[in-house]
Structure 1
């Protein structure tokens, strides 16, 4: 591969690192063409961009980045694919569906502004909530007390109305 092509690839990887908030490094060694196509198809449906890269070029893109990715350098061995996404837990959930097959496996990840190294971190990554999920939880928590107050006021109004009606209908 010519140096100009390598430089272009490093620049493109650097742009993807800036564009996407999260990425996963995945070992794809042992995937045949059909399984790779299936993985790419599932990634596309989940809004994940999958890029198979040369480890040295990815390392150069890491080094050129403003973020310190040094803990991920040890993951750059063997066949590596990078799964770029904007929702941290989506690739982890996708990879969990492949656990029984054993391929692909997680090498490391950058998610929620934290570095995760090792396949044992898959459960932690899958358990992360996306920004939208956290916002929905907060809204639900904020709405709950208001709903309780409105409900209590409505039931109290019916009770007071019933008492007044009964008292009004009573002979004196």
Structure 2
């Protein structure tokens, strides 16, 4: 591989790393072509990039971005990287889902928003709620009291209208 090709790959991987919120490093050996294609298809449909990268080039890209030193010890043997851009848990969940079907790839390490986890933590991390689930829970918690107030005010106003209506009917009966 020529120096220009290497620098182009390093630049591309550096850009992917800097945009991603979560990374999964995996060993893809012992996977058939069909299994790799299924993995790529599944990841791509969720907006996750999957790339096989030479460890030396990946390490240089991580050094360029900074903050990924904890992953260097996992850069041995064949390495593929899944880049999660929107939700850092998405690539973890998808790889767990794929592993349920084909028992591969083996996960070396997981990087989620600044934290490095060993690949053995895949199941635990895959069960974390997604960012959108957390946001929905927070919004629901904030809205619940407000909607309760609205329902209470509506009930009070309905009761007030009924009382005024009853008083008006009594006055009509007395006046007639």
Alpha carbons 1:31, 1:103 under 8 Å: kept:
yes
Match of 1:115 in 2: 116
**1 CA distance for matches of 2:125 and 2:39?**
22
1:65 aligned to 2:65?
yes
Q: d(CA) in 1 for partners of 2:114 and 2:70? A: 13
Aligned to 1:84: 83
> Which structure has the larger Rg?
2
Structure 1, unaligned runs of 5 or more: none
Structure 2: segments with no counterpart, 5+ residues: none
The aligned counterpart of 1:134 is: 134
For 1:154, the equivalent position in structure 2 comes to: 154
DSSP-derived class of the 1:149 partner: helix
The structure that is helix-richer by fraction is: 2
CA distance in 2, matches of 1:168, 1:3: 92
CA distance in 1, matches of 2:84, 2:49: 7
Return the alpha-carbon distance in structure 1 between the equivalents of residues 62 and 144 of structure 2: 45
Assess, with a 3 A threshold, how the Cα gap between structure 1 residues 25 and 40 changes in structure 2: closer, same or farther. Answer: same
Say which SS state the counterpart of residue 13 (structure 1) adopts: helix
Answer whether contact 1:22 1:111 (CA < 8 A) is retained. yes
For 2:29 and 2:119, how far apart are their aligned partners in 1? 16
- Shift, 1:64, TM fit: 2.7
Q: Report SS of the residue matched to 1:99.
A: helix
- In 2, Cα distance between equivalents of 1:35 and 1:168: 78
Residue pair 1:54, 1:80 contacting (<8 A) in 2 also: yes
- Aligned-residue Cα RMSD (Å) equals 2.1
The answer to whether the Cα contact below 8 Å between 1:26 and 1:82 also exists between their aligned partners in 2 is yes
Whether contact under 8 Å (1:75, 1:108) holds in the other structure is yes
Q: Aligned partners of 1:96 and 1:16: how far apart in 2?
A: 22
